[in-house]
Structure 1
């Protein structure tokens, strides 16, 4: 995709997002109305819950050079077998925006041309306007209809190879095969098979090579008024389809459209459950940590089938 074509697409999607009734500050969450949240509850048929997150990893690997750090800080020596009350304790730290752990990107995560989403200047991270776009924007959680589009299943392969792109045609073909249609306010989940490939072949340097969405596929999300995009990879393909923009899907989704992204989720279990049930939509509950000012959060989305 040429730089000129990317810029044209960026400006078109940005204008559409800023034409919302709230000026665009809540981004695509404006499509997730209380009525749509209530309607999503009707998606529950089996009463089964499925995690969409991968276990947090604490060992370094090719795609995780800065793994999360978790250590037990209690009980103190001698307390484990002692009489009376004592506590087991933990300490945890992580690089939220890595290439292995499941996480949510807030609207203050992507800087482009000196701005954040909705034209907010990116200079001062503590400024009220910047903090208004942080993960605290979704402190009440994100609850709505989740729709899983399993692209490898439709193509008849276990996964997409690194560097491959999900196109608009892939998304519409998955809709047709699954008998579902993505609509306003939906949490769109696109499986590329990243987690399955990693599990079967081992980790690789995903920063250099991974499957993801083609930038033009973001027009599909804008047309359908999707509120959230989640993937089992980074959502962006590597190498990038745009020579001078390393993460074009992040720029278009987060920066231009105000779509919260969830990266490196785990779809293998829910894909199997959906295939067995013959239904590819469900209630989806996302509860990020309350971290005012933060650019993202580790996340464990739950599908309720």
Structure 2
């Protein structure tokens, strides 16, 4: 790691950009690659009818993994049968009783989609919008346009943990686009243009194994920046990257010391949608059993006005 991390404006000065590619008003970026052809190609993969949901449980008794600085969701029971023990309990004609509850949560505190305006540098978010459009809520490139559009297409699972013969990747362990291609070849699947990529590390297994020490020296495994990797994502027109980690990339780049380079090189510059904290265990186990690593992917985050992210429960159908 370098002693002084370079500024993102310098590091990514010559990095490819899709700003303006889909018009000056675009807010969904590389999801524009997912047209009718990709939807039909994904649907054609359905053979067994097996369905896998990829959202992690909110309010898991074992704890919810969240990015450092965020608190897990808190669910509060508002009404239950005990409500009617009180003399002033609500009365409904016919004697109806009911349960009601609420949740307080970070919109990116569970399995979630990032809005394209979630990260930036140099005062500009996706598509060149002024970063001041984020003040008080995102008026540009929020999660709402992604939610209204939905995400549907062919997805390929790349099980990096199994590929490397591990239960889980280690903290700070990195891999490149070339490693993704090698993993795909070993699995007998081909990554095609405009595929949704799903990457399994099983790193969050350690969240439950290690308890409070999980966040000590926090650095997740994941993709590591290189100009060649960014160009590969650009050439392959990848619309969506889905992982089982909190940040979809190695937290701190070991080669330059910068935090979350790919959030900027891929999301901010190319408009690539990021989906994080996915639960891939049941899906990955089934793929390992039947040898089929592609599937029909369908996801729609919640329509949150001006939101910088939203919970989601993606579905893969085989």
TM-score by length of 1: 0.87
Of the three residues 218, 228, 234, the one matched with 1:208 is 218
How many pairs align? 301
State the Cα distance separating 1:289 from its structure 2 match: 0.5
State the Cα distance separating 1:207 from its structure 2 match: 7.5
Q: How does 1:50-65 map to 2 (within 5 A)?
A: 50-57=52-59, 59=63
Note if 1:198 corresponds to 2:207. yes
Q: Specify the alignment match of 1:68 in structure 2.
A: 73
Change (3 A) 1:96 1:218: farther
Supply the distance in 1 between the matched residues of 2:28 and 2:64 (Cα, whole angstroms): 36
State the Cα distance separating 1:277 from its structure 2 match: 1.9
Of the three residues 229, 235, 239, the one matched with 1:223 is 235
State the Cα distance separating 1:205 from its structure 2 match: 0.7
Which is higher, the Rg of structure 1 or of structure 2?
2
CA contact (8 A) 1:218 1:253 kept: yes
Supply the distance in 2 between the matched residues of 1:22 and 1:29 (Cα, whole angstroms): 14
CA contact (8 A) 1:162 1:238 kept: no
Change (3 A) 1:125 1:168: closer
Secondary structure of 1:230's partner?
A: strand
State the Cα distance separating 1:223 from its structure 2 match: 2.1
CA RMSD of aligned residues (A): 2.9
Change (3 A) 1:265 1:253: same
Q: Specify the alignment match of 2:84 in structure 1.
A: 77
CA contact (8 A) 2:16 2:230 kept: no
Supply the distance in 2 between the matched residues of 1:290 and 1:56 (Cα, whole angstroms): 18
CA contact (8 A) 1:183 1:225 kept: no
CA contact (8 A) 1:215 1:241 kept: no
Supply the distance in 2 between the matched residues of 1:60 and 1:152 (Cα, whole angstroms): 21
Supply the distance in 1 between the matched residues of 2:185 and 2:108 (Cα, whole angstroms): 33
Change (3 A) 1:304 1:61: closer
Instruction: List alignment gaps of at least 5 residues for structure 2.
Output: none
Q: How does 1:1-305 map to 2 (within 5 A)?
A: 10-15=12-17, 17-18=18-19, 20-22=21-23, 25-57=27-59, 59=63, 66-75=71-80, 76-78=83-85, 84-98=95-109, 101-125=110-134, 130-138=138-146, 139-202=148-211, 204-205=214-215, 208-216=218-226, 217-233=229-245, 234-241=247-254, 243=256, 245-305=258-318
Change (3 A) 1:35 1:13: farther
Supply the distance in 2 between the matched residues of 1:61 and 1:225 (Cα, whole angstroms): 30
Instruction: List alignment gaps of at least 5 residues for structure 1.
Output: none
TM-score by length of 2: 0.84
Supply the distance in 2 between the matched residues of 1:294 and 1:242 (Cα, whole angstroms): 33
State the Cα distance separating 1:185 from its structure 2 match: 2.4
Change (3 A) 1:283 1:207: farther
Change (3 A) 1:185 1:268: same
Deviations 1:73-122 (A, max 9, x none): 11333369x96112211101111234xx2111011101211110111001
